[in-house]
Amino acid sequence: MRRNRRALTLLLFAAAVALIGWSVVWGRRLQRRSPEIKLGAAPLVGRHPLDSWDWRAPWQLVLPIVVACVVVAFAPRVINRWRLRWVTIATGVAAAAFAVALAALDGSDGLFFGATDPTEYYYNLKYTSSSGRAFIDTFVERLNFYSVHVRGHPPGFTLILKAIEETGLNAAWPVVALSVLGVVTTPIFILVTVHRLAGAVWVRRSAPFLVLVPYAIWQMTSADAFFTSVTAASAAAVAIALKTPRRSVAIGASCAAGLLLGAALFLTYGAATFVLVPIAVAASQWRHWRRIVLVVVVSSTAALAVLLTFWWLGFWWFEGFAELKKQYWNGTAKFRPWTYFTLSNAAVLLIAVGPAALAGIIRLRERVIWLLVGSVLVAAVVATASQYSKGEVERIWLLFFPWVMLAAAPLADQSVTTPSALRLRAWLTVQATAAILLQAALVTKW
């Protein structure tokens, strides 16, 4: 059995390396022939359209190395001996520390470029209407006044920044703070979901693999880290609603789940595919069909209320999405061949989650974890098949990556014995090394 599992693991790694290598070779050929596809680091997106690989090793490189060393050294003891609530909180704090340390490798630019770049949300506040309602009401008709990044999303996040600005916090640092908040809370919400559905053991085994992750290099440079937190909170609320014995709590949690998922739809159109995760959460409790019906009815009603509220304010989600399609096909997407991105997107996913997820999924036997991981993988397939995820998925699919990392949980044994601790530390070291090398070599667009 162990020999077969090892052979299958090696086969999967070989296939992954081949896929990534193929996507690099073909992607670089496309870059040279058609620079307008704007990859720069195929299959990844870089800041320079032709070549965004630039190895740099400033003194700040020591920061993520120190964070990684602390996590690797103490993770086995923490996940097995601390109380569950402290394990959960520590996971979120450590994940944020690692992401911030990685971004700091490029100094203040690494932290603030994603907030202050002219293509991003904060820069576009100067073009918005004076009132929030007027901004929502005229969002679609004034879409061409905004940068490409704002045009590709619903008005929700810009509205949040506008509200923050009106409080007097007219600076880029609140935008960065929202990213930090997203990085801290996402693992917490995911672990709450795992605890409710699979139990404490799987929380402890999953926790360390939500900290040292290659996709952390895009979390601090993109508002999608905040979007990821909102969607993860919606899944956690569904899990709470399904598993709590109190009906009143179930109704409240269901309402929260619907409001959060509804809000996520107005932060990113990609949240429409994330709905497969709450569906998987509900499917894991299929025997309790009465509770599922309650949760579905209440949460759907709450989500519909958000949808209708924005419609009342002047923005109809489906009209916005229809306009997005026009913008999308008139932009860079028309130069990007779908045949390439169908598989290069998978290569990006493999790079973003690192080798631990691939090694762990061979050993995964827990049905609930399989449902969660499987749901986001299906969502990624749906997103690719829709042809609205042709590249840039290292940012767009931040909604999915943390859930895929649950596949690595079997690599962490529920034990503090020397062999299991060494195995966990080895895999965490691999993950951290992949993230640090990627950050030091790639100049990302965000």
DSSP-assigned states of every residue in 363-409 = H---HHHHHHHHHHHHHHHHHHHTT--SS-HHHHGGGTHHHHGGGGG
Tell me which of 159-163, 186-190, 322-326, 369-373 is least confident.
322-326
Residue 297: φ, ψ to 5°? -65, -50
Q: How far apart are CA 232 and CA 260, in angstroms?
A: 9
Q: How far apart are CA 278 and CA 268, in angstroms?
A: 17
Q: How far apart are CA 302 and CA 351, in angstroms?
A: 36
For residue 44, what are the β-bridge partners?
41
Determine how many CB atoms are found less than 10 A away from the CB of residue 247.
11
> Band of the pLDDT at 169, cuts 50, 70, 90?
confident
| Residue 185: partners with Cβ closer than 8 Å, 6 or more residues away | 92, 229, 232, 233
Determine how many CB atoms are found less than 10 A away from the CB of residue 66.
12
Mean pLDDT of 391-397: 92
Q: What is the pLDDT of residues 239-280, one digit of tens each?
A: 999 999 999 999 999 999 999 999 999 999 999 999 999 999
Highest mean pLDDT among 253-267, 315-329, 402-416: 253-267
| Residue 256: partners with Cβ closer than 8 Å, 6 or more residues away | 233, 234, 237, 302
Q: What percent of the chain has pLDDT over 90?
A: 71
**Residue 50 above 90 pLDDT?**
no
Closest CA to 253 of 270, 236, 269: 236
- Helix (H/G/I), strand (E/B), else coil: 46: strand
**Residue 43 above 80 pLDDT?**
yes
- Helix (H/G/I), strand (E/B), else coil: 117: coil
Q: How far apart are CA 405 and CA 121, in angstroms?
A: 29
Give, for 41, the enclosing helix (H) or strand (E).
Answer: strand 40-41
Q: What is the mean pLDDT of the chain?
A: 92
Mean pLDDT of 30-45: 90
Q: How far apart are CA 117 and CA 97, in angstroms?
A: 23
Rg (CA), the chain: 21
CA distances from 319 to 31, 90, 121, 266, 314 (A): 34, 42, 21, 12, 11
* pLDDT at residue 414, rounded to an integer: 59
> Band of the pLDDT at 29, cuts 50, 70, 90?
very high
Parse the chain into domains and list their residue ranges: 2-439
* pLDDT at residue 345, rounded to an integer: 96
CA 5-8-10 angle, to 5 degrees, is 110
* pLDDT at residue 311, rounded to an integer: 97
